Amino acid sequence: MNISRIFVLRPVATTLLMVAILLAGAVAYLQLPVSALPQVDYP
């Protein structure tokens, strides 16, 4: 069975999978230790 056929035949499952991946990415992005104003040492 072709992998794209699964996603074409089940659009609701495809949408839910896409939302889950987007939410996981958003949570991972928010967990990154990045400061808005980092300390920079100029040479």
- Spatial neighbors of 7 by CB under 8 A, at least 6 apart, are 13, 14
Residue 1, pLDDT > 80, answer: no
List, for residues 29-42, the tens digit of each pLDDT value.
Answer: 999 998 888 889 99
Q: Which pLDDT score is estimated for 38?
A: 84
Sign of the alpha-carbon dihedral angle for 16, 21, 26, 28:
positive
16 part of a folded domain: yes
**Amino acid residing at 22:** L
37 part of a folded domain: no
Q: Which pLDDT score is estimated for 35?
A: 81
Number of structural domains, the chain?
A: 1
21 part of a folded domain: yes
Q: Which pLDDT score is estimated for 34?
A: 84
List, for residues 2-31, the tens digit of each pLDDT value.
Answer: 889 989 999 999 999 999 999 999 999 999
**Structural domain of residue 5, as residue ranges?**
1-29
